């Protein structure tokens, strides 16, 4: 009855988490997908996109998962919390999804970005 509520996106995100923990992949895909569309741009939307891709990967939908990991990187990669908390995992999952789909270009892109990100955070004593 409150489909236009400002809380609808967060509700879908929470529903997605419930489905995720119950390993109900189709339901999690639906819920995280709705959340990713209803939430405003920001950290919650980034989390919804990431978990949408993860649920798709778990369900064997590697091409849509790859698309959504790339969406996360493209649309939310500059958000500090995403950069520090989700980006490396998104690149790693992109590599796995790209291998499953035979998309060598995406696998190489994600591998290079992952390697660059890790090396840029290594601190040399001195």
Name the pTM for this structure: 0.88
pLDDT by residue (tens digit) across 36-64? 999 999 999 999 999 999 999 999 999 99
Sequential DSSP letters for the chain: --TT-TTHHHHHHHHHHHHHHTT-HHHHHHHHHHHHHHSPTTHHHHHHHHHHHHHHHHTT-HHHHHHHHHHHHHHHTTSHHHHHHTHHHHHHHHHHHHHHHT-HHHHHHHHHHHHHHHHHH-----
Cβ atoms of 86 and 44 closer than 8 Å: no
pLDDT by residue (tens digit) across 83-98? 998 999 999 999 999 9
């Amino acid at each position: 009855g409150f489909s236009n509520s400002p809380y609808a996106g967060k509700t879908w995100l929470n529903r997605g988490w419930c489905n995720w923990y119950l390993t109900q992949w189709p339901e999690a895909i639906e819920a995280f997908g709705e959340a990713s569309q209803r939430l405003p741009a920001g950290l919650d939307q980034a989390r919804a996109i990431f978990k949408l891709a993860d649920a798709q990967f778990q369900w064997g939908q590697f091409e849509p998962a790859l698309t959504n990991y790339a969406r996360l990187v493209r649309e939310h990669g500059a958000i500090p919390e995403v950069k520090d908390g989700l980006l490396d995992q998104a690149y790693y999952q992109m590599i796995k999804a790209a291998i499953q789909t035979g998309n060598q270009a995406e696998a190489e892109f994600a591998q290079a970005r992952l390697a660059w990100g890790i090396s840029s955070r290594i601190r040399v004593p001195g």
